[in-house]
Amino acid sequence: MKRFAFALFSVMMAAMVISACQQQTEQRYETRWAGETMEEILDNIEDQIGGFDQTMMETNYRYNELYWAGQDENWGYAGYQLDEMLGSLKKGFVRRPEREASAAQFVNTSVPRLMEAIEAEDREAFLELFNRMAATCNTCHEMEEVPFIQVIIPEKRTSLVKF
């Protein structure tokens, strides 16, 4: 439902932007919170969507879910989480394209290798590659000058999903 609502919201905003681009004079809009002018609306929506911190919050959740799915050999759920993690990162790169270079090793090497282990349903390879992936996360954080954010292997299950 959230995705549908977000998709609907995105379509509505895109229509408003296109409409505004076609107008010669600045048009006023009635919104509950987003603003009155197109500039105010876009600024407020960008502020609500956030920067890369939102991407990292989702990545953190999916990272934990991915780990426990691999531990439990729930390969369908593991593949789903890895796919969603990558999708979240790609959306984050739209908002903060300068982050993409630091994440290249993660996106281009760690993710495909880990997906291969998931598809092979190889728990041992999964655990080894998950450890390597965690290391690439930390390398990316160092490159982004946030070395104080250190990713570890999850020690405690917090998932609400029954495996």
Contacts of 86 (CB under 8 A, 6+ apart): 107, 111
Structure tokens at 109: 């090497």
What is the model's pLDDT at position 121?
98
The series of mean pLDDT values per 10 residues for the chain, 163 residues long, is 52 59 67 80 80 90 96 96 96 92 94 98 98 95 95 90 70
What is the model's pLDDT at position 33?
77
CB 77, CB 163: distance < 8 Å: yes
3-state helix, strand, coil in the chain (%, to 5): 70, 0, 30
What is the model's pLDDT at position 73?
96
CATH code of domain 52-143:
1.20.120
Query: Per the confidence metrics, is the pTM higher than 0.85?
Result: no
Contacts of 66 (CB under 8 A, 6+ apart): 78, 81, 82, 85, 130
Domain segments of the chain: what residues? 2-49, 52-143
Structure tokens at 16: 């408003």
Which residue is listed with tokens 């495996």? 163
